[in-house]
Amino acid sequence: MPTGSTSASGGSYEALREAFEWEVPETFNMATYLCDRWAGSESGTDDRGGDGRVALFAESEAGARATYTFEELRRAANGLADFLAARGVSRGDRVGVNVPRKPETVIAHLAAWKLGAVSVPLSTLFGPDALAYRLDDSGALACVVDASNVDTLRKVRGDLDALGTVVTVDAAPNEGEINFEDATDTGRGQSGARAVETVATDAAEDAIIIYTSGTTSDPKGVCHAHRVLLGHLPLFLTTFCNMDIEASDVYWTPAEWAWIASLFDVVLPGLFYGKPVLAYSGGAFDAEAAFSLIERYELTNVFAPPTALRMLMQADPSPYDLESVRVLPSGRESLGDSVVAWAKQVFDGAAVQEGYGQTEANMLVGDCTALADFHEGTIGLPGPGHEVAIVDRESREPSIPGLSARSPSATRVIPSVSRSTGRSPGRPARRYGTAGCVPRTWARWTGRAM
């Protein structure tokens, strides 16, 4: 299986890092490994004639629930890919995905990747200017848009010359649009499926453009290759799973699925390992709803931002059975002793772990309490396969006196590091390299980087 490998036998985190080596195949398409390979992997069928291995549990704020198998994801993704191809979307073209935490989000990404196209996740909180900027900058030919933001897209579509196809989710289509069910043409319960052969992409081929927040300047489109999924697996196993994947695992994050942390820290790695992910489209975070979801779906790994954990602290957990939770990873800011102590008590000793990454280079540093002690106020140790240091901008040498470093190699490729950032194809792009190595050193939160 394409990923990093290790034969560490010393039972320590340092032994794991020393033994780790990247293994990235020349040919790799995320759609194949997230969906297609699992669609026929289990014996028996579900009551709709598909394979029984569950990929997604879906629930809306109103309480409507559904279960999607990998086979159903494959059929829907094939249908959408076939439709997009008929509309002129092909290898390298951009497809916007403006949908919240719903199965249609995953299906849209898979459909784009099956064609060798490049998906562009977009927040449903974007207003007209923010949405138009990203769709125009990326040169998107198509966009899958949810009812929660379809009116915003309609306001600006006339200004987007390249955008020829709009697929609506849970919204009646206007003239020149098509609803998701008609585009996929599979329907819940239908046994037919369009035959679509997933393109054999190079692992280094463009797969997804994720825009930065634009806090200090215009948002940058960060382009990642298909190999980016493989680059996230080491810290998914250490920080998000604490070295333990079990048959009963169910993963969830309340964070919006338009950002790299939610998609590549939780949703896509979960599917890579054939585990179900909860798609809860309940709007703003609600503590009691979160407790209820944990109990109802017996969630095991919950990636919650510090703000969400602090909101949970203000609610009463006593009516709920929360014993299923094994790991509570978090990020963006330091949790503090009070949150960690509370979480361990409420979730029956669950591992509370912090991690760090950014859009351009995600999942770099994190805790792994199964192999190393937790240090309050830090964000953990460099992940397997990563070399981390604070370096001088010009010399790229460590800026902390007394720490040695290994010079970056021009030929070394880290899968989780972006291919480039910049604007639309043909415009100047900035490439990211690797920094030096500072072994056995803890990184500490002092604030968000500019």
Query: Is 228-450 in the same CATH topology as 26-35+70-226?
Result: yes
Q: 154 to each of 75, 148, 292, 349, how far by Cα in Å?
A: 29, 12, 36, 49
Q: Tell me what pLDDT residue 378 has.
A: 76
Q: 26-35+70-226, what's its fold?
A: Rossmann fold (3.40.50)
Pairing of strands 65-69, 165-169: unpaired
* Domain 228-450 in this protein, CATH class: alpha beta
pLDDT digits (tens, 9 = 90+) for 331-350: 877 777 788 889 989 999 89
**Mean pLDDT throughout 91-109?**
98
User: Tokens at residue 399, please?
Assistant: 């800026």
Q: Tell me what pLDDT residue 424 has.
A: 53
Instruction: Write down the domain spans for the chain.
Output: 26-35+70-226, 228-450
Q: Tell me what pLDDT residue 56 has.
A: 98
Q: Tell me what pLDDT residue 50 has.
A: 46
Share of the chain above pLDDT 90, in %: 65
DSSP code of 159?
A: G
Mean pLDDT is lowest, of 21-25, 106-110, 383-387, for 383-387
d(CA 104, CA 144): 9
What are the strands, taking DSSP E only, across 304-392?
Answer: 327-331, 351-356, 365-366, 381-382
Q: Tell me what pLDDT residue 35 has.
A: 96
pLDDT digits (tens, 9 = 90+) for 38-72: 997 554 444 444 458 999 999 999 999 999 999 99
Q: How confident is the model at residue 189 (pLDDT cuts 50, 70, 90)?
A: very low
DSSP code of 443?
A: -
For the cut 80, the answer to whether the pLDDT of residue 429 exceeds it is no
pLDDT digits (tens, 9 = 90+) for 235-257: 999 999 999 999 999 999 999 99
pLDDT digits (tens, 9 = 90+) for 352-394: 999 988 888 888 899 999 999 887 777 788 999 988 877 788 8
**Contacts of 277 by beta carbon, 8 Å cutoff, 6+ apart:** 55, 56, 57, 250, 251, 252, 266, 267, 270, 271
For the cut 70, the answer to whether the pLDDT of residue 282 exceeds it is yes
pLDDT digits (tens, 9 = 90+) for 115-163: 999 999 999 999 999 999 999 999 999 999 999 999 999 999 999 999 9
Q: Tell me what pLDDT residue 392 has.
A: 80
Decide which of 213 and 412 is more confident. Answer: 213
d(CA 54, CA 86): 30
User: Tokens at residue 265, please?
Assistant: 């820290």
Q: Tell me what pLDDT residue 186 has.
A: 52
Mean pLDDT is lowest, of 75-84, 219-228, 410-419, for 410-419
In the predicted model, what is the mean pLDDT of the chain?
85
Q: Tell me what pLDDT residue 420 has.
A: 57
User: Tokens at residue 393, please?
Assistant: 């901008």
User: Tokens at residue 174, please?
Assistant: 């206007």
Q: Tell me what pLDDT residue 426 has.
A: 40
pLDDT digits (tens, 9 = 90+) for 291-327: 999 999 999 999 998 889 999 999 999 999 999 999 9
Question: Which amino acid appears at position 275 of this protein?
Answer: K
Pairing of strands 420-422, 221-225: antiparallel
